[in-house]
Amino acid sequence: MRIEKCYFCSGPVYPGHGMMFVRNDCKVFRFCKSKCHKNFKKKRNPRKVRWTKAFRKSAGKELTVDNSFEFEKRRNEPFKYQRELWNKTVESIKRVEEIKRKRQARFIMNRLKKGKQLEKEEAISEVKKNIHLIRAPHAGKAKMMEDKMVQKLQEDVEMGDDQ
């Protein structure tokens, strides 16, 4: 029993689910659900259909190169059954899954952090542009001019004193 991958969306196909299609060049296509099968019959390229893993990986939206993916690669070497090897493999599967999920999540979070920064900058520029909604344009100008004039007079007086 093997959990296959759907050709279109790369999701898992559990036993008892989905459909299989064999092309005349002996290539086998497995689909997890009729949504994927129907898209395939419409000749859609999974690398261009946005919700598939194929698109996300090719567009750099998800982790592509990582050591934890080496564990899932298909090996065509049969192994002689050893009980300890089997048990160790089962435990390491759980650990590798955990690590892989964390790494993938971190990759996506890092990708989305940039959005937060851009949002902040956009907010600042928006406030600057629409400052007239928050504070009247010539709100403290009169008082400022008065203070300036007072200061200038004081300076003149001081200069006069010095002389």
Partner 1 sequence: FPFSHSAACAAIQKMSRVRVVDNSPLGNTPHHRPAKCIHVYNKTGVGKVGDKILLAIKGQKKKALIIGHKMPGPRMMPRFDSNNVVLIEDNGNPTGTRIKMPVPSSLRRLEGEYSKVLAIAQKFV
If one asks whether residue 24 binds partner 1 (CB under 8 A), the answer comes out as yes
If one asks whether residue 22 binds partner 1 (CB under 8 A), the answer comes out as yes
If one asks whether residue 86 binds partner 1 (CB under 8 A), the answer comes out as no
Contact 77, 34 (CB under 8 A): no
Angle (nearest 5°) at CA 124 between 120 and 125: 120
Characterize 82-119 residue by residue with b for buried, 16 or more Cβ atoms within 10 angstroms of its Cβ, and e for exposed.
Answer: eeeeeeeeeeeeeebeeebeeeeeebeeeeeeeeeeee
Q: Which stretch binds partner 1 (CB under 8 A): 19-27, 60-68, 112-120, 128-136?
A: 19-27
Q: Which stretch binds partner 1 (CB under 8 A): 20-28, 85-93, 107-115, 118-126?
A: 20-28
If one asks whether residue 137 binds partner 1 (CB under 8 A), the answer comes out as no
Tell me which DSSP letter residue 147 carries: H
If one asks whether residue 3 binds partner 1 (CB under 8 A), the answer comes out as no
Residue nearer to partner 1 on the CB measure, 11 or 96? 11
If one asks whether residue 19 binds partner 1 (CB under 8 A), the answer comes out as yes
Cβ at position 24, least distance to partner 1 in Å: 5
If one asks whether residue 135 binds partner 1 (CB under 8 A), the answer comes out as no
Distances (CA, A) of 24 to 6, 62, 114: 19, 33, 47
If one asks whether residue 23 binds partner 1 (CB under 8 A), the answer comes out as yes
Q: Which of residues 39-78 bind partner 1 (CB under 8 A)?
A: 41
Contact 68, 75 (CB under 8 A): no
Q: Which of 28, 105, 136, 145 binds partner 1 (CB under 8 A)?
A: 28
Phi, psi of 47, deg, nearest 5: -75, -5
Angle (nearest 5°) at CA 49 between 43 and 54: 100
User: Which residues lie near partner 1 (CB under 8 A)?
Assistant: 16, 18-24, 26, 28, 41
